[in-house]
Amino acid sequence: MKSLEELKAIREKMKRQMDLRENDESNIRVVVGMATCGIAAGARPVMTAFLDEINRRGLTNVTVSQTGCIGVCRLEPVAEVFVPGEEKVTYVRLRPEMVPAIVEQHLVNHSVVQDYTIGAAE
């Protein structure tokens, strides 16, 4: 059973990571569109896949957040990746099984997964 005691242990662990993160200027942001269009197209499992994969890999320099409609409803689910010093990359028509490749190749190894980008879809 999950208990609130477990949450306390998470807090202690996270505190140590926060101290490291404050000095980290390489914070990467992943933003997933979660408006009606995104949710209906399957953004929830995509968002969950990002959080699960980042948690599994213990990546402390990545922030995942949600936003409203990004503006291309026909290409939902959509996620934008912001790496400091690099151009924003927009991934479209995402499915949860595509997420581990984006995390590994783009967020960890800084190599854009071209096949999943808006440029490849349009």
Binding residues vs other proteins (CB under 8 A): 1-2, 4, 6-8, 10-11, 13-15, 18, 34-36, 39-40, 44-45, 47-48, 51-52, 54-55, 63-66, 68-69, 71
Q: Select 55 or 114, whichever has its Cβ closest to other proteins.
A: 55
Q: How far is the CB of 95 from other proteins (least distance, A)?
A: 15
Least Cβ distance, residue 115 to other proteins (angstroms):
25
Nearer to other proteins, 27 or 66 (CB): 66
Closer residue to other proteins in complex, CB, 6/86: 6
Kindly state the smallest distance separating residue 57's Cβ from other proteins, in Å.
Answer: 10
Q: Please state the three-class secondary structure of 42-92 as a single string.
A: CHHHHHHHHHHHHHHHCCCCEEEEEECCCCCHHHCCCEEEECCCCCCEEEC
The DSSP-derived string for 9-23 is: HHHHHHHHHHHHHTT
Bin 93: left if φ > 0, else alpha if -120 < ψ < 50, else beta.
left
Distance between CA 101 and CA 98 in Å, rounded? Answer: 6
